Amino acid sequence: MTARQLAFDLPARAAYRRADFFTSPANAEALAAMDGWQDWPGGKLLLIGPRGAGKTHLAHLWAEVTGARMLAGNHLAGADLPELAAGGAVCIEDAELVAGVAQAETALFHLHNLLAGQGRLLITASAPPRDWGLRLPDLLSRMQAASIAQLHAPDDALLSAVLIKLFADRQIAVPPNLIPYLVQRMDRSFAAAHDLVATLDAHALQRGRAVTRALAAELLDFAAPE
């Protein structure tokens, strides 16, 4: 049985400080775009990247600087839009979740209009707007007109940093030889990193063991000594 089959969704306290964001060629473009928020064309930006790539981390950093309100796309329907936009800066996370929900699509359209020309709107998603399945043509045209900052697949350095951060978020101290071992053998994606750390944590707790290379070897179907 592989680690992915054994993944558990366990709680962890995420750290969203600037010092916890590791910069690499995979995310430097997106970080620069966030730092240049005052110059976003039309006051809006789409932050696109796979699950676990750092979209939420960057969104929190931006919200800390701008005082932005943050709301998930699946909570947008029925939201008090004037109150949400009152501060002049809003972040909608996982915006693709509005697709196919008429009230949510309409709400995002009106929120965009409320902030147009006088506010800032950050929108995060896992794919470009053309792939969301939007049914409201006016919303689709406005989303497609927004500038895009892309978070790319991780290189070795970034994947290592993500693993270290995920273990730290769970307050797990790991041996130095574990991280390079995982990087060379795991699926090379942020989602795989999240799943693998959760799996190792769960099995270490179940067995009363520390998170070690030997435990990782068992879960990844490799035989390796401590």
| Alpha-helical regions (H) of the chain | 28-35, 55-66, 81-85, 102-115, 137-144, 156-169, 178-185, 190-207, 213-219
Angle made by CA atoms 126, 132, 134, in degrees to the nearest 5: 150
Sign of the alpha-carbon dihedral angle for 75, 80, 85, 87: negative
The structural domains of the chain, ordered by start, are: 27-150 (3.40.50.300), 154-219 (1.10.8)
How far is the C-alpha of 123 from the C-alpha of 125, rounded, in Å?
7
Going by C-alpha positions, the residue among 224, 119, 129, 151 that lies closest to residue 182 is 224
Residue-wise pLDDT for 114-171, tens only, equals 999 789 999 999 999 999 999 999 999 999 999 999 998 888 888 898 899 899 989 9
pLDDT in tens, 136-150: 999 999 999 999 999
Residue 90: how many other CB atoms lie within 10 Å? 26
pTM for this entry: 0.75
| 55-87 tens-digit pLDDT | 998 999 999 999 999 999 999 999 999 999 999
Which residues, listed in sequence order, are joined to residue 70 by a DSSP beta bridge? 91
Helix locations, 5-117, DSSP H: 28-35, 55-66, 81-85, 102-115
pLDDT at 28 over 80: yes
